[in-house]
Amino acid sequence: MAKKPQAFPILLRWSDHVPASDVQDPLGLRLRSSTRLASRLLYCITSITPRARYFSFIPWCVFDHQQHEKGKPHALGLRDGVIIREHALTLACIAHHKGEPCSGGTLVGTRDAKKWFAIGEKEADFKKIMRKKFSKNPALNAYMNSIVNLGLFVSDVERPDTDEEAVGEVFTFDDIELSTLGIELAKRFDQKIAGLKTTKQIASKDRRCSLDDLAEFGKHGGLCELSNKGSADRELLRDIFFAIVGSKGESHGVRRQSLLLTLDLCRQFSAEDWVLNEPGFASAVYFGEVTNGDTRLVVVIPPQLLDIATRWRMFYFHHFMSVAFEGLFSWLVSQLGNLGLAGATVDSLVAKLDEPAVRKNLTEIMSVALKGSFGNLTPSTLLVNSGVKNGDLDEAVSKSVDTAVTSQTPFAEDTLEDLIRSNEHLYSSTGLALPMILLSVTLARYSQWESTNFGKWLANSANDAYLDLVPPLVTTGLARRFGDWWKTSFKELTRFVLSRYVIQQHQSMSYEKTSTGERCLLQVDGPKIVSTGGFDKIGMGNPRLSRAIQILTDLGLIKEDEDKVIRLTPEGEAFLEGEMKKEAKHEVS
Ligand SMILES: [Zn+2]
């Protein structure tokens, strides 16, 4: 990738060049909508809670502290009592796996624990380790909100279902009380490890454990060991995640459906040796197929799961729209970076769409012969080339996008996303056209859902109709500005989209976030815009899905084979079949 020329501003107020890495959500598309949607779909499985074992381990820490430590002269406070046990688990897993962490993702504090193991000590002194603190951010901080929301502690208040760690000591820890379900889960974990030496020593005054004893603890209580048959807590954890027990409220039922959908897609994918991953999941719910070169798998969503699959489809409408907006933003700051303090006006940037090179490049990329300048084309006249029906953007035209623009074809959202993320056209005018095409295809495909309950569900995820950009609000904004955006020239559309959804949005967001606007990468001076930093890594994604796949693995329902294909285990097959029978009531016609 080309390196962006540095243009350090000379005026005092610009003297802080903002490092690109500091700006991760320049348009607020992640924090304000994507994570909110993901939270509604996979409630309690956040991007920072990927291992199912912690969900029984942390309640056990509280239980064990109460049973064997509390009230004694050497007792730690509850919070430190949990953290010292967490350190023990981290070392135990490393000791059990002879210097390596559990498979499927590292534990909190693994790096220091590996170093400790490498020294070759035969005994761990946890009083000393606590002073050094293996990890500044214990798993406790990451998992606590989800553990509370799953009903394992007595609480009337729902905690924020965020993907960010709680900073500092945010829990009034000493009042915390395990619920009946939490106690049951802790007892199940306790069944396997109550008799082990580490369990006794970690609660004792001495708090020293031998390496061999720790390894034994890891063997029974480790993270990847949960998936072994005979882990007493596994079945209950499964029932909690699948909302079979203890669930309060609808969001748990939605998570259950998302997990069933993931299992069912895993079943369909693995039957043809496809690997279930984030792009595959996206393609399945969005296009109804996965493709790779000449091979293709047509996905059949069972009627019981149509509702949840359609909600995930809404998630991806937002995703593709967001990639388009962030792509525009990325292109804009790159262009402005080249121009230094001279900056540019929106009109001069938009005029680039008429350059013959844009038509030439697009002709190649989209494999169509474009007539006239790109800037004068409309989404309608452009997309006719891909086989989309001619005419007003009604339900029939929107549905024709589904049949004409399938996964991995030149006009398809996934193809355009890959192209934009590659940054190949970041410094040419074609880089402005590509996100605009992505935006048009996404919104045209979305428009058939506009007045449905799914469209309303998507619109409901916006708390602020001005700042939260979701497809229904953007189509409304475009309609208000143009009447019929579908038949408006790309030049006109781009001028508005850049001004309203990129420049203005970024300014609002940076003031919103920091109150001083110091993370603003754009300086607007009358009609002139100057950039004060770089941004070349488009974010957006579905981090919760891979965590859900890990949790399903930990629960022993799915397993990766030698060829990296994730398959249902025999237990997973039986479980899915049984649970799908119960799901009949959600069937939508
Ligand atoms: Zn392990």
CATH value at residue 578: 1.10.10.10
Same domain, 420 and 285: no
123, pLDDT greater than 60: yes
- The answer to whether residue 364 sits within a structural domain is yes
Q: Which of the listed residues 216, 241, 266 is the one where a domain comes to its end? A: 241
Same domain, 389 and 452: yes
Same domain, 382 and 483: yes
- The answer to whether residue 4 sits within a structural domain is no
- The answer to whether residue 49 sits within a structural domain is no
For residue 40, which amino acid is it? Answer: R
Q: How many CB atoms lie within 10 A of CB 11?
A: 9
Beta pairing, strands 522-525 & 528-531: antiparallel
Ligand 1 mean position to 95 CA, how many Å? 10
- Whole-structure pTM over 0.85, yes or no? yes
Q: Burial code of 240-278, b = ≥16 C-beta within 10 A, e = fewer?
A: bbbbeebbeeebbebbbbbbbbbbbbbbbbbeeebebbe
Q: Which of the listed residues 219, 241, 263 is the one where a domain comes to its end? A: 241
Same domain, 553 and 441: no
Q: Rounded CA gap, 130 and 126, in Å?
A: 6
Same domain, 401 and 485: yes
pLDDT digits (tens, 9 = 90+) for 369-392: 888 999 999 999 999 999 999 999
pLDDT digits (tens, 9 = 90+) for 410-435: 999 999 999 999 999 999 999 999 99
Ligand 1 mean position to 545 CA, how many Å? 22
589, pLDDT greater than 50: no
What integer pLDDT is reported at residue 134 of this predicted model? 67
Q: Span 318-342, mean pLDDT?
A: 93
Find the helix packing angle between 232-241 and 180-193, rounded to 10°: 150
Same domain, 223 and 85: yes
Q: Residue 560's domain spans which residues?
A: 250-301+544-584
Same domain, 397 and 474: yes
Ligand 1 mean position to 94 CA, how many Å? 8
Ligand 1 mean position to 102 CA, how many Å? 4
pLDDT, the chain, mean:
90
- The answer to whether residue 536 sits within a structural domain is no
Lowest-pLDDT choice from 282-296, 468-482, 504-518, 549-563:
504-518
Ligand 1 mean position to 218 CA, how many Å? 7
Contact in structure between 411 and 366 (CB atoms under 8 Å): yes
- The answer to whether residue 292 sits within a structural domain is yes
Same domain, 463 and 548: no
Q: Span 270-279, mean pLDDT?
A: 96
Same domain, 358 and 391: yes
pLDDT digits (tens, 9 = 90+) for 433-466: 999 999 999 999 999 999 999 999 999 999 888 8
Ligand 1 mean position to 366 CA, how many Å? 48
Confidence of residue 502 (pLDDT cuts 50, 70, 90): very high
- The answer to whether residue 3 sits within a structural domain is no
Lowest-pLDDT choice from 21-35, 196-210, 273-287, 364-378:
21-35
Ligand 1 mean position to 220 CA, how many Å? 9
Sorted by sequence, the CB contacts under 8 Å of residue 64 that are 6+ apart come out as: 85, 186, 190, 199, 203
How many domains does the chain contain in total? 3
- The answer to whether residue 210 sits within a structural domain is yes
Ligand 1 mean position to 244 CA, how many Å? 27
What's the DSSP call for residue 344?
E
Of the CA atoms within 13 Å of residue 92, those in its CB half-sphere come to 27
Same domain, 105 and 77: yes
16, pLDDT greater than 50: no
> Which is more confidently placed, 398 or 24?
398
Same domain, 353 and 444: yes
Tokens of 555: 């629960």
Q: Span 198-214, mean pLDDT?
A: 96
What integer pLDDT is reported at residue 171 of this predicted model? 62
What integer pLDDT is reported at residue 513 of this predicted model? 60
> Could you tell me what percent of the chain has a pLDDT over 90?
72
What integer pLDDT is reported at residue 495 of this predicted model? 97
Same domain, 268 and 214: no
Ligand 1 mean position to 90 CA, how many Å? 10
Confidence of residue 12 (pLDDT cuts 50, 70, 90): very low
- The answer to whether residue 48 sits within a structural domain is no
Q: Which of the listed residues 198, 219, 241 is the one where a domain comes to its end? A: 241
